[in-house]
């Protein structure tokens, strides 16, 4: 389906989709030749389902735009495509490296369209605002994450820049779990409750600031209380890459570095490597 829209409508729709956390592709006409219904500068939004909001040309170009939008939303690089009369297309790629698509439109024009993915900000969910938790939240915010802070109300003032504030460890309604990362930074304050909520969520990455020994004790206790072992094995503890970090800020750096590596390179997270967050709690302390 195609919904015509003016420039202001496109901008408003982009803002709405970004606020809702929905990924979409943006198609921009960068050059035309001969007769075309869309002109340079025209823009359209392409949603995951194929709906086009805006006008970048008739049905002669929409199929190519939808196909390319689907690819960039699935992880492919942004790309420039060229749609031209079918009799002028002898290969899938033009001599200058631009991907070619055939057009059967009688107008005989050529359209070049740049298509890029507009992905929502990844979401960093910090459970607990211990000193390391605050450092993780602050660094995550500077790196462009949408920040969700889950902590008792009296601790919320420690992090002024959160996008969302939650006072209870209820993560069932967490939006965009597949684009989220959870860091449990309770450090002795309702550890088991926070860990159980995090591990039962749909978020793939759950890391614990604390030693491997403490994490093992806590997960064993939670399994005795009914947590499935498969869920317990999801826990990354201690959190962060082992970079020899010292102090709250460096530990936060190691954790965000690990998350960045996972996001950018798809590197698997090992759960048996002693990292810097193992020392974040000092002497072993257990929740009573």
pLDDT band at residue 266, thresholds of 50, 70 and 90?
low
Which CATH number among 3.30.70.150, 3.40.50.720, 3.30.420.40, 3.30.2350.10 corresponds to the domain 123-279? 3.40.50.720
The whole-number pLDDT of residue 4 equals 59
- The yes-or-no verdict on residue 135 having pLDDT over 80 is yes
The fraction of the chain above a pLDDT of 90, given in percent, is 61
Residue 180: φ, ψ to 5°? -115, 160
pLDDT band at residue 268, thresholds of 50, 70 and 90?
very low
Give the span between the Cα atoms of 108 and 33, in whole angstroms.
9
Q: In this predicted model, what pLDDT tens digit does every residue of 162-193 receive, in sequence order?
A: 888 888 888 876 777 888 999 999 988 889 99
- For the chain, give every residue range classified as CATH 3.40.50.720: 123-279
């Amino acid at each position: 389906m195609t919904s015509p829209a003016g420039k202001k409508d496109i901008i408003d729709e982009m803002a709405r989709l970004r606020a809702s956390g929905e990924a979409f592709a943006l198609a921009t006409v960068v050059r035309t030749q001969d007769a075309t219904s869309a002109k340079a500068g025209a823009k359209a939004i392409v949603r995951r389902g194929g709906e086009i909001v805006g006008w970048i040309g008739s049905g002669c170009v929409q199929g190519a735009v939808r196909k390319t939008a689907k690819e960039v939303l699935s992880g492919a690089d942004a790309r420039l495509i060229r749609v031209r009369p079918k009799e002028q297309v002898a290969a899938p790629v033009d001599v200058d490296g631009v991907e070619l698509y055939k057009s059967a439109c009688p107008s005989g024009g050529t359209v070049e369209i740049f298509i890029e993915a507009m992905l929502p900000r990844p979401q960093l969910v910090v459970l607990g605002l211990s000193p390391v938790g605050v450092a993780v939240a602050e660094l995550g915010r500077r790196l462009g994450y949408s920040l969700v802070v889950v902590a008792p109300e009296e601790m919320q003032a420690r992090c002024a820049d959160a996008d969302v504030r939650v006072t209870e460890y209820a993560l069932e309604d967490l939006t965009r779990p597949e684009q989220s990362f959870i860091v449990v930074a309770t450090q002795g304050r309702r550890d088991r409750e926070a860990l159980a909520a995090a591990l039962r969520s749909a978020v793939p990455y759950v890391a614990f600031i604390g030693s491997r020994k403490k994490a093992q004790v806590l997960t064993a206790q939670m399994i005795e209380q009914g947590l499935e072992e498969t869920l317990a094995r999801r826990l990354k503890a201690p959190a962060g890459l082992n970079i020899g970090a010292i102090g709250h800020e460096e530990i936060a750096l190691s954790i965000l570095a690990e998350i960045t590596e996972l996001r950018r390179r798809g590197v698997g997270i090992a759960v048996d490597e002693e990292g810097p967050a193992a020392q974040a709690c000092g002497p072993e302390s257990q929740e009573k």
